[in-house]
Amino acid sequence: MNAASGKVMKDSGKKSFKLMIVDDSNIMRRRIERSNQLDELELVGTASNGLEAIEMFKKMDPDVVTMDLTMPQMDGIECISKLVVMKPAVRILVISALADKATAVEAMEKGANGFLNKPFTDRQLNEAIADLMR
Amino acid sequence: MLQEQELKTFVEGTTNYFEVAAQQPASIGSPYLTEGSPSVHDYTGVINISGKREGFVYFTAPKAMLTVLLMKMQENDFSHETMRDLVGEVANTISGNARRDFGRDFVISVPSVLAGERPEIPQKPGARSFVIPINWRSHSAKLIVSLT
């Protein structure tokens, strides 16, 4: 573990980022997991709402989070605010159907680093995650 | 009641969903108005709309269509729960995308799902609904928009 960067080292010695997927849809969580073609990303946890995400975040300390916005119990905007307090260096990609600019701006102001609208192609997802990690 | 441009927003959202998520465009039939509870298919995803507009957006589809849609999405779980998840996600995506035109005061709920025979469709008294017919491969589904 490289404590300074929050990255973990795989057996191969290749640097890896820990990924957490947050979405209330099982289909979307599996879709994001399947679509991820970046070798550097290792899935460490999934959550179906903001509350679960915070618990998972505490346990797994991910570096990269994909975050839905419209979720029961705690929505994505509130969850983003809490995650960035816990780990300011976390990189958060919002993946949401909400397509108005004001919502994207609010998410970025709360601490998100990127915004991808649903529906999306595999290519769009991989480009968005790659952008996030640059 | 929906204006023509607002109806167009939902038609375009539906077209875009199938083109991107299913990688195969759907053809959209002529929208029509209906009064009372509209008829639905096996599974129906319901989004409650509040804020500057009030009402519901439903996506309703037969199981056979949802099965093929899941296959196109590389899914291999075709359980009842996954069917429910899918109709909710489609309704959520099309409704959420509509905020591009309606703005953030077009507030959408998390999806609820109706399934089984003759489910009770929530409807505001006296509300009229626009039905947008969706034809995809050999299947037919509907987007139903009921807004005041």
List, run by run, the mean pLDDT of 10-residue segments along chain A (134 residues).
39 72 96 84 95 97 96 96 97 97 96 97 93 86
Domain boundaries, chain A: 8-133
Which residues, 6 or more positions from A11, have their beta carbon under 8 angstroms from its beta carbon?
none
Reply yes or no on whether the pLDDT at B116 is more than 70. yes
CA–CA separation, A40 vs A8, rounded Å? 10
Q: Assess whether the previous peptide bond of B62 is cis (omega < 30° from 0).
A: no
Domains of chain B: 4-147 (3.40.1550.10)
Partners of A24 on chain B (C-beta within 8 Å) are: 110
Q: Phi, psi (5° rounding) for residue B58? A: -120, 145
Per-residue pLDDT tens for B51-69? 999 999 999 999 999 999 9
pLDDT at A2: 38
Partners of B75 on chain A (C-beta within 8 Å) are: 27, 30-31
Residues B129-140, mean pLDDT to the nearest whole number? 95
pLDDT at A14: 57
Question: Which residue from A30, A71, A119 is facing B17, i.e. has the nearest CB?
Answer: A119
Picking from A29, A108, A97, A44, the residue whose alpha carbon sits closest to that of residue B102 is A97
Fold classified for A8-133: Rossmann fold (3.40.50)
- Asked if A71 reaches chain B (Cβ–Cβ under 8 Å), the answer is yes
pLDDT at A1: 36
Contact A70 B81 (CB under 8 A): no
Whole-complex ipTM: 0.91
- H or E element, residue B137: none
Contact A98 B99 (CB under 8 A): yes
CA–CA separation, B124 vs B141, rounded Å? 22
B4 close to B132: Cβ distance less than 8 angstroms: no
Contact B70 A27 (CB under 8 A): yes
